[in-house]
Amino acid sequence: MKRKEIYWLIGTIAFVLIMNFVLFGTDGFQSDTTLDLNIHDTYFVIANVHFVFLFAVLIFFGVYLFRTFKRSFENLTANLILMISTLLLILVLIGIHSLVDALILQTSTWTIDPPLSAGAPHPEIEPKESDFEILANALFLIQIVLLIFLTFCGFKTGRTYKQNG
Segment 79-106, tens digit of pLDDT: 999 999 999 999 999 999 998 888 777 7
Cβ atoms of 114 and 122 closer than 8 Å: yes
Can you tell me whether residue 120 is helix, strand or coil?
A: coil
Per-residue DSSP letter, 115: P
Q: Which residue has the higher pLDDT, 119 or 62?
A: 62
pLDDT of residue 57: 94
What's this model's pTM, rounded to 2 decimal places?
0.79
Q: Is the predicted pLDDT of residue 157 greater than 60, yes or no?
A: yes
Does the structure show a pLDDT above 60 at 111?
A: no
What was the pLDDT predicted at 33? 85
